[in-house]
Structure 1
Amino acid sequence: MGGKLLPDLSLEDISGITIKDHENSVVLRKGEKVWSVENRFSYPADFSKISEIVKKLRDAKIGRTFKAEDKILSRLTLHGPGKQEKPEDQRGAEIILEDKEKKVLADIIIGKAREASAGAGGQYVMLAGNADVCLTDKNFRFLDKEPAQWLDKELMNVKPDDIEKVVCIDPETKEAIYSLRRPEKGKSPEFSDLPEGKKIKKSKVDDVFRMLSSFQIENVADPAKKAEETGLDKALCFEYHLFDGTVYKAYPGNALADDNDKFYFKVDVSYVAPEIKEEIKPEAEGDKEKEADDGAKAKKAEEEKAKQAELLVESKKLNEKISPWTYVISKWKRDNFIADTKKLLEEKEAEAQKPEAAPTLKTEETPKPEAETPATETPAAEAETPKPEAEFREAKPVPETEEAETETQEE
């Protein structure tokens, strides 16, 4: 393996990157604070992808080189994407790196990947102004050339357990369609005004509280689009109230005119300081103990105020970043913004009825024989003690129906 393709390349020196093929192109530009996708309304770019492509170019090692003859360039798709006279399947992708003065630092044509049968992989590339084709050890097969693929797509990442309450609001009446709330942190959400005979469908309610977790966008819409075009003028509002006082308001809009699997979306962030619940403690005894207790309360109140001020600044900063944009989200994500309460509830299971106990048959107790008394002479007629009357009572004839019932009970 030979030397590096671009040994002196440094990300700090790069202020502009253009990636293009015969169909698409993306222009990435370094701003004062962040990189942006210049030809996608200058929306913030995914810096990790920028860092990765620059590192790959810097670390790429040259395996071998050979002369760049026209037939070789055609076979390895190493003609520039702008060469209209060449067939599309003979033109490669191009990466242009610029400094802050827009001076070209490197211009690379990316050709075919090396066939697996010919060796251990790699990619054919050629530096602009160089007469040699290079085989590098790096692979650029999945190089993205569309603007949407370079956007910073993670919009929000709110942990479900941090959300205290979710309220769905009707756009016309401005009234709550439903409200779900955790009685306290760590507890399961509860439905306000739960209809009789219904219970919460846990899986669906969990989906509602997970909506803002690792929330990814697909694209950004043209800022010039009017709310009437996107359906955001009459969109449902989903309020997510966090325990710390931060409030996210999400507005899912209509489907795109040319793609029913994509939907418009907006979101804003605000902060409402939660009420501080004072701890109830037994009154301190003595002046010194009371003074120490008051001092601890004052310190805690100051810390709480400082924390709230910090959260207010953070929410304003985040709102300035994300609220001006109209986003494009996937259909499955849009479908998880549930407004129909029927989807969040299910029927309570009927309680299993206990089987009735079998009737207990009452039996007459046979009186116990009286205790034996010392034998005394009695007249012959009185020699036998008469048996209890019950034992001598003749059974009355039982009607057929009663007899059947009696047999059943005995069984």
Structure 2
Amino acid sequence: MTSKKLIGMVIALAVLAGIALMQNKGGNKHRADMDKTAATLLQGLDLNTVDGVAIAEGSDSVELVKQDGKWVVGSLFNYPADFKKLADALRAASEVTMGSPVRSANVDAAEFGLDKAKSIVLKTGGNDAVKLAVGARREASNTAGWANQHFVQKGGADDIYLVDYDFRPFTEESDDWIDTELINVSSSDIVSVKAGDMELNSVSNTWTLADLDEETEEFQSSEANKLRMALQYLNCTTVADPAMTDADLGFTNAVAYTASTTNKSYTVTLGGEADNGRYLRLSGDVPEKVNGWTYVVSTYEANDFLLTRDKLVKAKEPEEEEAN
């Protein structure tokens, strides 16, 4: 091999090495960019360590706290929180990617709606772990489509991101974080109902009123069905303040309702009127979570427990005498 060819090969190898080095640097840069792009909304946060969530928007706020291994709504008298709602919201948020910052240096944060942002703070060990400011929703367009995209700022940093996520699960209303279903007893399982001075019984799958005067009264089974179905999908709207007295809640003149199956009994006690509803308590063979609490149910739901006897019967029409 001539010296000229040898020099040529050395040069070629040097060029190839340089290309490989450049490609490697470019590859690393590309991977770094990819890693940055793939950063998630809750990057670095172990969801299992979260023991507090504070959400605020405008004048409304809610605080969720983990106490003795159970989540409660601190802003609603420490009533048990619906853990599934919270877990689903956190899990979904943890999978949201951040993308690249969208803020321009000469654009004020208010332009992204961050002057009136929703605040979401996740805590671990009682300390703030992740702080999010959720600004305006990006307007729909032919390009953006109908995406749930919001401008987000993390921990007060300068960078603002456009995040494709619907933040409505992180509601600032305390009532939205509780399981509003109180009890669900199938009407077909109910065999007797006592409400006030009335008693209804199921005899051979036919409902009767205990003191019905069959000569002068007709039983209104459609109205009676409301009493029989009152415990089916019974929901509350909120929880009453435990510090309120029976007099405050109208339980000094309470109305009692008891429904029974073949082996269980459920008692509903109705108090006075509340905002957009009525106060209610449950006892008997009810879920443990509802014992000891006073709820507010809608007027519509409460009315089914308040049916009076005159709604369940009507006077029989006198029989016409046959002509001779």
Of stretches 35-44 and 51-60 in structure 1, the one that deviates more from structure 2 is 51-60
Matches of 2:104 and 2:293 in 1, distance apart?
Answer: 47
Matches of 1:353 and 1:143 in 2, distance apart?
Answer: 71
Question: SS in structure 1 opposite 2:296?
Answer: strand
TM norm structure 1: 0.63
Matches of 1:49 and 1:326 in 2, distance apart?
Answer: 22
Tell me the CA shift for residue 123 of structure 1: 1.4
Contact 1:7–1:59, Cα closer than 8 Å, also in 2: no
Question: Relative to 1, partners in 2 of residues 1:155 and 1:33: Cα closer, same or farther, differing over 3 Å?
Answer: farther
1:96 aligns with 2:116: no
Contact 1:113–1:141, Cα closer than 8 Å, also in 2: no
1:5-44 matches, cutoff 5 A = 5-44=41-80
Aligned match for 1:191, one of 189, 194, 209: 209
Tell me the CA shift for residue 61 of structure 1: 2.3
Matches of 1:68 and 1:54 in 2, distance apart?
Answer: 29
Matches of 1:205 and 1:102 in 2, distance apart?
Answer: 53
Tell me the CA shift for residue 113 of structure 1: 1.1
Contact 1:29–1:36, Cα closer than 8 Å, also in 2: yes
Contact 2:89–2:169, Cα closer than 8 Å, also in 1: no
Contact 2:103–2:161, Cα closer than 8 Å, also in 1: no
Question: SS in structure 2 opposite 1:194?
Answer: coil
Q: Which residue of 2 aligns with 1:330?
A: 298
Matches of 1:134 and 1:354 in 2, distance apart?
Answer: 88
Tell me the CA shift for residue 198 of structure 1: 2.7
Q: Which residue of 2 aligns with 1:266?
A: 281
1:11-35 per-position Cα deviation (integer Å, ceiling 9, x unaligned): 3221111111231111101233531
1:278-317 per-position Cα deviation (integer Å, ceiling 9, x unaligned): xxxxxxxxxxxxxxxxxxxxxxxxxxxxxxxxxxxxx6xx
Tell me the amino acid that sits aligned with residue 58 of structure 2.
H
1:82-121 matches, cutoff 5 A = 90-99=115-124, 101-117=125-141, 119-120=144-145, 121=147
Tell me the CA shift for residue 345 of structure 1: 2.4
Tell me the amino acid that sits aligned with residue 48 of structure 1.
K
1:348-400 per-position Cα deviation (integer Å, ceiling 9, x unaligned): 577899999xxxxxxxxxxxxxxxxxxxxxxxxxxxxxxxxxxxxxxxxxxxx
Tell me the CA shift for residue 8 of structure 1: 4.2
Contact 1:49–1:150, Cα closer than 8 Å, also in 2: yes
Tell me the amino acid that sits aligned with residue 154 of structure 2.
L
1:124 aligns with 2:148: no
1:181 aligns with 2:149: no
Tell me the CA shift for residue 347 of structure 1: 4.8
Matches of 2:195 and 2:268 in 1, distance apart?
Answer: 10
Matches of 1:349 and 1:142 in 2, distance apart?
Answer: 57
The structure having more radius of gyration, on CA atoms, is 1
Tell me the amino acid that sits aligned with residue 190 of structure 1.
T
Of all paired residues, the percent bearing the same amino acid is 26
Question: Relative to 1, partners in 2 of residues 1:129 and 1:338: Cα closer, same or farther, differing over 3 Å?
Answer: closer
Contact 1:63–1:137, Cα closer than 8 Å, also in 2: no
1:164 aligns with 2:158: no
Question: Relative to 1, partners in 2 of residues 1:182 and 1:73: Cα closer, same or farther, differing over 3 Å?
Answer: same
Question: Relative to 1, partners in 2 of residues 1:141 and 1:43: Cα closer, same or farther, differing over 3 Å?
Answer: closer
1:250-329 matches, cutoff 5 A = 250-256=268-274, 259=275, 261-270=276-285, 318-319=287-288, 321-329=289-297
Tell me the amino acid that sits aligned with residue 130 of structure 1.
A
Tell me the amino acid that sits aligned with residue 65 of structure 1.
P
Matches of 2:218 and 2:266 in 1, distance apart?
Answer: 27
Q: Which residue of 1 aligns with 2:243?
A: 224
Contact 1:61–1:138, Cα closer than 8 Å, also in 2: no
Question: Relative to 1, partners in 2 of residues 1:68 and 1:194: Cα closer, same or farther, differing over 3 Å?
Answer: farther
Matches of 1:139 and 1:48 in 2, distance apart?
Answer: 17
1:213 aligns with 2:235: no
Contact 1:20–1:93, Cα closer than 8 Å, also in 2: yes
Tell me the CA shift for residue 327 of structure 1: 1.1
Matches of 1:153 and 1:25 in 2, distance apart?
Answer: 19
TM norm structure 2: 0.79
Contact 1:220–1:327, Cα closer than 8 Å, also in 2: yes
Of stretches 205-214 and 35-44 in structure 1, the one that deviates more from structure 2 is 205-214
Q: How many residues align?
A: 284
Q: Which residue of 2 aligns with 1:394?
A: none
Q: Which residue of 1 aligns with 2:257?
A: 238
Question: Relative to 1, partners in 2 of residues 1:142 and 1:355: Cα closer, same or farther, differing over 3 Å?
Answer: farther
Q: Which residue of 1 aligns with 2:7?
A: none
Contact 1:60–1:137, Cα closer than 8 Å, also in 2: yes
Contact 1:67–1:133, Cα closer than 8 Å, also in 2: yes
Tell me the CA shift for residue 42 of structure 1: 0.2
* Structure 1 spans left out of the alignment, 5+ residues: 79-89, 170-176, 271-314, 357-411
Tell me the amino acid that sits aligned with residue 94 of structure 1.
S
Aligned match for 1:152, one of 179, 185, 196: 179
* Structure 2 spans left out of the alignment, 5+ residues: 1-33
Q: Which residue of 1 aligns with 2:25?
A: none
Which structure carries more strand by proportion? 2
Question: SS in structure 1 opposite 2:77?
Answer: coil
Matches of 2:138 and 2:207 in 1, distance apart?
Answer: 55
